[in-house]
Amino acid sequence: MFYKFSFFLIFFLCTCVQPMAHAQTRVPSQKSAPAGNSKVEALLKKMTLQEKIGQLTLYTTDWESTGPTIRDGYKNDIRSGACGALFNSHTVPFTRELQRIAIEETRLKIPLLFGYDVIHGYKTIFPIPLGEAASWDLTAIEKSARVAAKEASSAGLHWTFAPMVDVARDPRWGRVMEGAGEDTYLGCRIAEARVRGIQGKGIGNTDAVLACVKHYAAYGAAIGGRDYNTVDMSERFLREYYLPPYKAAIDAGARTVMASFNDYDGVPATGNKFLLDQILRKEWKFKGFVVSDYTGIAEMVNHGVVANDKEAGELALQAGVDMDMQSAIYQRFTAQSLREGKISLQQIDDAVRRILSLKFELGLFDDPYKFSDQARYDATILSAENRAAARDVAKRSIVLLQNKGNVLPLSKNTKIALIGPLAENKSELIGNWCGAGSGSDCVSVREGLQLAGYNQVAFAKACEIADHDESGFKAALEVAQHADVLVVVLGERADMSGEAASRSNIKLPGVQENLLKALKSSGKPIVVILMNGRPLDLSEIVNDADAILEAWWLGTETGNALADVISGAYNPSGKLPMSFPKSVGQIPVYYNYKSTGRPYDPNSKWTSKYIDEQNNPLFPFGFGLSYTTFEYGEIQCDNPVFKKGTPVQLRVNVRNTGKYDGEEVVQLYIRDVTASVTRPVRELKAFKKIKIPQGGNETISFSLTDADFSFYKKNMQFGSEAGKFEIYIGGSALASRKLSIEMKP
């Protein structure tokens, strides 16, 4: 969502005055099936047309140095029933006062719905979602969402614009930080976990908020990785790779959906009836409501599919968008469109019905202030329990990419030169989309090392994140001369990822690569800690660093989590949810590509490849090292030849052959060797995260069902086809253990 308020304030001042007068003429409600909650139906009959339109209208509040604020015009809209929901409205006193206006100063006393972008924490900030996805730990991810929901709900919020479940294969796109990466299966499982965490034991509980699945649909496939750009793909590709995580989230109980900015098949998602009505409501049976993204309805004019705002509102409502975020188009034009017969009263009533139903389910009509609880807020926000959870999730999100000579872990008596623009920083640690979080609550890397008992730490900043001043290199080299190991903390600024933060060059910004090369001349072992919101081009870094820890943006407990890993108190277990390219020219690079008629052969010119680069990424999907090593046995199968529809039972023995206890993410991939349409060379179909003690072993079992072998066949029917399959099990998408099986008709 886009919150450049000054731009849009100018936009609205230029294009609209105050919303239309709020006439009190009663409009009879038309019946529609299903009839819905009796209380909703009774209320609907009492509402004027303008009050109904008000329920379809979502405005923003603002934030100044003194705290939350609301524009006077929006206060008047609340009083007149012309606004049914607000976003960015949080903190107990602020939400209570706004709710008071809605309850005490309006005719029908319909409570407001308060929403906010609680993406990876409210005040206690967890790793960015891409970082959490690197944990491959569904319990930890659900825990993170659970804490965020508890804190957010205590501040008066009812609704979060999360989870983002967009599959993303292009690291240039800044919003990869908000999702689960490149894989559909992993994305589905994480979407389910996040919805469970956000909505808790049920809507209406005061420690839960409404989840909002976004951005529907295929927003992560923006061409060129450029935010807000168009999307072009076949329906087969859409249904097979991009739609499943949205459906998984809805099946897990998510009650709201946000339409995306992009188009699909030439029609903006905000006005796309195929997406919003045919698939979402008819095929998936979604019963909740759909909200536009920020001014998404108005932006259909720029898309060129409507001539003006009025037509945009008609297209959106006809397609199935129930709530208009910020553009005020429903407020300004819906009554006129109804008079002209461009939309129907039933369409309006259906949208209002869906919104009111959730307000009733939340319990807001019984107690409009139930979520605004100062005592609960004080007991919940940044509690010791929440911070412990943030530390646990953060350490599980760290990925060990390289560890030459087993430089890591570091003993407590090691003399450390802590160097780099992010080594002592706090303000960037919470990353983008950081809710109400504050860098002042964060534990820096330097603090984390000190708290862990590293008493010989010398610091030099050396350079800023993105400028070109190398004058600090000299001080860094001097500090390095007296150290045993250099711990160099590099990365992006938080605002270099997230919305409207696409990058064409995904190398480390500024002179950070130059710093690493200068430090290499010291001859000391170098441990690089990376803080970033996307996969980076690390082609130079791998040559200059002995060890590399991908730490993303870890949030409030960054320093403590990193110290746990650096010291070996926690053995890193993260695995990449996105491939890291060797160069930007490979992008998009992802593991589940399809084989061509001339598959890659390094010994033949006339095959699908580059002449100046390899096809494989620098670090593949699913990759991540440990301080220990794991050895995989042969894959065993009870029924290598099986009938269609019969579950396939597989198992593999994994042995810890190293010197530390450790966790491994055992990943299972399949390949459909021959099918009616081309299939990927590998597809993730199952994974299990297990802990194996030093010298121990464990047999891991998997059961594949017919659904795991199914796809959209040549006739676009979803199902499996008899034939041969290859099974791969291992520690990344390049797993080498292989077994051939065969499905009989």
Which residues are annotated as catalytic?
293
Q: What are the structure tokens assigned to 13, written together?
A: 């001042």
The contacts of residue 684 (CB under 8 Å, 6+ apart) are: 183, 185, 186, 592, 622, 667, 668, 669, 733
CB-based contact 292:270 (threshold 8 Å): yes
Geometric angle at alpha carbon 475, from 469 and 478, rounded to 5°: 145
In 320-383, where does DSSP find H-type helix?
Answer: 329-339, 345-362, 374-380
Which residues, other chains included, contact 263 with Cβ-Cβ below 8 Å and sequence gap of 6+?
230, 231, 269, 272, 303
Strand 641-643 to 711-712 pairing:
unpaired
Q: Which of 695, 690, 625 is nearest to 659 (CA)?
A: 695
3-class DSSP state of 180: coil
Residue 421 tokens read as: 């623009």
What dihedral angle (degrees, nearest 10) is formed by the CA atoms of 365, 369, 370, 374? 180
Q: HSE on the CB side for 32, CA within 13 Å?
A: 17
Residue 688 structure tokens: 């299990």
How many C-beta atoms surround the C-beta of residue 563 within 10 A?
26
**Type of residue found at 157:** L
Query: In the beta sheet, which residues pair with residue 267?
Result: 264
List the beta bridge partners of residue 723.
743
Distance CA 537, CA 535 (A): 7
Residue with tokens 């008899």: 722
Q: Is 289 helix (H, G, I), strand (E, B) or coil?
A: strand
Tokens read off for 130 = 């891409």
Torsion from C-alpha of 444, 449, 453, 454, nearest 10 degrees: -140
Cβ distance 565 to 603 under 8 Å? no
Q: Strand pairing of 57-60 and 85-87?
A: parallel
Report the 10 Å Cβ neighbour count for 468: 10
Q: Which residue has the tokens 């108190």?
A: 569
Which pairs from 470-474 meet CB under 8 Å and 24+ separation? 470/511, 470/514, 470/515, 470/518, 473/514, 473/515, 473/518
Rounded Cα distance between 9 and 15, Å, is 10
Q: Distances in Å between the alpha carbon of 68 and those of 85, 97, 368, 437, 521?
A: 16, 11, 20, 15, 51
Tokens of 335: 């009554």
Q: Which amino acid is at 447?
A: E
Q: What is the DSSP letter of 439?
A: G
Structure tokens that stand for 448 in this block? 């984390």
Which amino acid is located at 76 in the chain?
N
Euclidean distance between CA atoms 205 and 225, whole angstroms: 39
- In sequence order, the β-bridge partners of residue 549 are 400, 529
Beta-carbon contacts of 532 under 8 Å, excluding residues fewer than 6 positions away, are: 491, 492, 496, 497, 550, 552, 553
What are the helix (H) ranges across 111-169? 129-133, 138-154
Q: Report yes or no: 615 and 734 within 8 Å, Cβ to Cβ.
A: no
Cα separation, 554 vs 494, whole angstroms: 11
Q: Which residue has the tokens 């320093």?
A: 559
